[in-house]
Amino acid sequence: MARRYTSKLTWDDVTPEHLYLNRRQIMAGMGGVLGAGLLGAGAAQAQGDPRLALIPNEWDEITGYNNFYEFGTGKDDPARNAHMMTTEPWSIEIDGLVDNPGTYSLEDILSEVEIEERIYRLRCVERWSMVVPWNGFELADLLNRVGVQEGARYVAFETLARPEEMPGLRVPVIDWPYREGLRLDEAMHPLTIMATGIYGRDIPNQNGAPIRLVVPWKYGYKSIKSIVRISLVEEQPVTAWNTYAPNEYGFYSNVNPERDHPRWSQAEERRIGGGLFSRNFPTLMFNGYEEEVASLYEGMDLIEFH
Ligand code: MTE
C-alpha cells in the first residue's frame, strides 16, 4: 500500500484576509466543498515568503491561461476551442507490464479511488507559475489496482488525439499524440496525482478533462492532459517535448533553478494573476517539493539528467 501523503498546506495556511472576501464570492454556491478553513487566518504566513504561501490562483486565471497545444498554441486558444472535445464516455487503456490490462472506463477507475484536494504549485518551463487547488487521487492507487509486474520500470502516458475535435492537431508542432513518461518510482510517489477537478468542480476541458496527470515538482509539460492510455514499460518512453528538442527538454524535467533552459534562465518565475504575488520571485528547487522528492534522485547529476 502506498504511503499516504498528508498535505501540510491547507486553506488555513494559504488564505490571507485581503483575498478571502474575493474568494468567498467565487466559492459561493459551490457546495461548501472547501469547508470552514476558508475563513481561517493565514495572513501572517502569507506576508512571509510568497513562494511558501500557496495562494491558489483565481478560477478564471487557471482556466483562461493554458497550454494545450491540441487546441492551438495561444494561451487563450484552449479556453476558446476545448469545448469541442467530447469527454463522455471516456476510458483509459492500461497495458504493458500489468497483471490486469484492459480498457477501464472513467467511472470504473473513479469507483475505486478516494478523491482529495491537493493545493500544488504549477511551474511552466516558460517561466510562469500558478497555484492550483486540484481534486484527484494518487496515481499509485490506480497502478496498484492494475498490478504492476516485475520488469516495469517506467510509465508512459498518451493524450487523446482526435483531429475532428482538436484543431491544433492540424499543425505538426509536435509529433502527436502528446506523450509523456515517468520513472516508476516517480509515478508511485504520493505527490503524483491524477486530477479530475479544480476547486471542487469537474476539471474544465482546457485543463485536461476528464482526467490528467499532475506532477508538481516537474515542469508543467510533464503533467499530461486528457489521458487515454497508460503503459507500464521496461525502457524509458519517448516523450513529446524531448523528441522535439532533446537539448531543451529532458526526460526528467525536474524544476531546477540552476539548470537554465538553453534559451532562458530558469532562476525566476512570474506568478500569474493580480495582487501581491504577481511579480517575479526565485524558483525553488524541485518547485518547493525538495524535502519530499530529492531522495528519488540521490547520486544523479541533475544538470546532465535534466
Ligand atoms: N498536455 C497536452 N496533452 N497538451 C499540452 O499542450 N501542455 C503542458 C501540460 N500538459 C500540454 C499538456 C504544459 S506546457 C503545461 S504548463 C501544462 O499542461 C499546463 O496546464 P494548465 O493549462 O492546466 O495550467
- Percentage of the chain exceeding pLDDT 90: 79
DSSP at 179? E
Radius of gyration of the chain (CA): 19
Cα–Cα dist 136/113, whole Å = 9
Q: What is the pLDDT of residues 58-92, one digit of tens each?
A: 999 999 999 999 999 999 999 999 999 999 999 99
Give the residue from 63, 73, 93, 29 showing the smallest Cα distance to 206.
63
Cell numbers representing residue 156 in the block: 508512459
Nearest Cα residue to atom 24 of ligand 1: 66
Q: Which atom of ligand 1 is nearest to the CA of 208?
A: 23
Q: How high is the pLDDT of residue 280?
A: 86
The CA 208 to ligand 1 mean position distance, Å, reads: 8
Q: What is the pLDDT of residues 113-122, one digit of tens each?
A: 999 999 999 9
Residue-averaged pLDDT of the chain: 87
Distance of CA 98 to the CA centre of its chain: 24
- Percentage of the chain exceeding pLDDT 70: 81
Q: What is the mean pLDDT of residues 150-177?
A: 97
Burial string for 227-261 (b: 16+ CB within 10 Å, else e) reads bbbbbbbeeebebbbbeeeeeebbbbbbbbbebeb
Q: How high is the pLDDT of residue 152?
A: 98
Cα–Cα dist 301/306, whole Å = 8
- Helix ranges restricted to H, the chain: 11-14, 17-27, 43-46, 59-64, 77-81, 106-111, 139-146, 184-187, 240-244, 290-293
Which of the listed residues 180, 194, 218, 221 should we mutate to test ligand 1's pocket, taking the one with most ligand atoms within 8 A of CB?
Answer: 221
- pLDDT category, 55, cuts 50, 70, 90? confident
The CA-atom distances, in angstroms, between 256 and each of 142, 264, 305 are 29, 13, 11
Which of the listed residues 207, 223, 229 should we mutate to test ligand 1's pocket, taking the one with most ligand atoms within 8 A of CB?
Answer: 223
Cell numbers representing residue 37 in the block: 478553513
Nearest Cα residue to atom 11 of ligand 1: 68
Q: Considering all CA atoms of the chain, what is the largest pairwise distance in Å, rounded to the nearest integer?
A: 52
The CA 69 to ligand 1 mean position distance, Å, reads: 8
Give the residue from 180, 151, 130, 77 showing the smallest Cα distance to 287.
130
Class of 11-297 in CATH: alpha beta
Domain boundaries, the chain: 11-297
In contact, 256 and 266? CB cutoff 8 Å:
yes
Cα–Cα dist 141/130, whole Å = 26
Cα–Cα dist 187/213, whole Å = 10
The whole-model pTM stands at 0.87
